[in-house]
A and B are shown apart, each in its own frame.
Chain A
């Protein structure tokens, strides 16, 4: 009996494959890595370029990284969206707060940078959120490809 049929329980439903957690972690940390590992090289390069461009534009026009704030539930959503950028988000956060500042500032003492009075502030935020959300979609796409549900 194979591992998959054992998991399926013999109830008629095919066993559902799972994507390797390390693959998904890599896909989240560095945009495009998951596709690269799965052999989708061209797509990987395009996705990497798009997410990095969105993130760099967001930072360049003084956007603020989402960080949790007490009494502001939407700040958690912004954090989740920005966290989707993976290493880009973590590196930028460490750049602004310092490595020890990041560790000591979790969850409510983190500075997201940006300049609220800058002309591009709102657009910058949008680029940062969009980049993160696109990367989260890429992680789901990698999961689908790894499970054989997409090519």
Chain B
């Protein structure tokens, strides 16, 4: 339950679904926004994490 990666993915999932339903009306648009936001948050966090690893 306290695995940081799983918590980050769970957080990204909740936020992505939230904004997909808040900002889009059709199912197709919601799915697109959800996928974009989710991938951006998860991949972005991992990339940022690795970049920070290089900083002492």
Cross-chain contact of B1 among A60, A138, A141 (Cβ < 8 A): A60
1-53 of chain B: CB within 8 A of chain A: 1-2, 4, 7-8, 10-11, 14-15, 17-18, 21-22, 25
Are B14 and A123 in contact, CB atoms less than 8 angstroms apart? no
Cross-chain contact of B14 among A50, A61, A120 (Cβ < 8 A): A50
Bound-state CA distance A139–B15 (Å) is 16
- Number of A residues near B (Cβ < 8 Å) is 21
108-151 of chain A: CB within 8 A of chain B: 118-120, 123, 126-127, 130, 134, 137-138, 141, 151
Bound-state CA distance A60–B2 (Å) is 9
Are A137 and B1 in contact, CB atoms less than 8 angstroms apart? no
Cross-chain contact of B18 among A50, A60, A123, A151 (Cβ < 8 A): A50
Which chain A residues border B18 with CB–CB below 8 Å? 47, 50, 134
- With an 8 A cutoff between CB atoms, is A15 at the interface? no
Cross-chain contact of A57 among B4, B10, B15 (Cβ < 8 A): B10
Bound-state CA distance A130–B4 (Å) is 16
- With an 8 A cutoff between CB atoms, is A99 at the interface? no
Bound-state CA distance A134–B21 (Å) is 12
Cross-chain contact of A53 among B7, B8, B14, B22 (Cβ < 8 A): B14
Which chain B residues border A141 with CB–CB below 8 Å? 22
Q: Report the nearest B residue to A131, measured CB to CB.
A: B14
Q: Report the nearest A residue to B6, measured CB to CB.
A: A123
Cross-chain contact of B17 among A50, A57, A118, A126 (Cβ < 8 A): A50
Pairs A–B under 8 Å by Cβ, sample size 17:
A47-B18, A47-B21, A50-B14, A50-B17, A53-B14, A54-B14, A57-B10, A60-B1, A120-B2, A123-B11, A126-B11, A130-B11, A130-B15, A134-B18, A137-B22, A138-B22, A141-B22
Q: Which 6 A-B pairs have the closest CB atoms?
A: A120-B2, A119-B2, A123-B7, A50-B18, A46-B21, A50-B14
